[in-house]
Amino acid sequence: KRFDNARMTFYDAGLGACGRVNTNSDFQWAGGAHCFQQVTISFGGKRATATIMDLCPGCPYGGLDLSRGLFSFFASQDVGVISASWDF
C-alpha cells in the first residue's frame, strides 16, 4: 500500500503501544496495529525505513507520527509538519 502527500509530524518517544520503550533517536513510526513491521518513507530526495512502534490516534488516514530522530532526518523540527510519501 502506498500513500502520497501524507501528513507527517513528530512526537516524543517513550513507552509505546507495542510494549517497548522507545527513544527519540529511533527511526520509528506511531502506526497502530502493525507492531514491528516496517514502512519506507520518502521526502525531499531522501528515503528511510522505519519500524512501527506505537499508535497515533490523532493522525489522519495515511498520516504518520514520526520519532524526532526520523523527522529530523527529513526536515528541521522547526517545520513541524511535512507532506511525504510512504509505502507499507
pLDDT computed for residue 15 by the predictor? 80
Beta strands in the chain (DSSP E): 2-11, 28-30, 38-43, 46-54, 64-67, 82-87
Single pTM value for the model: 0.86
Map out the domains of the chain as residue ranges: 2-82
CATH of domain 2-82: 2.40.40.10
CA distances from 23 to 44, 61, 83 (A): 24, 25, 23
pLDDT tens for residues 30-59?
655 688 899 999 999 999 999 988 888 889
The answer to whether 39 and 67 are in contact (CB under 8 A) is no
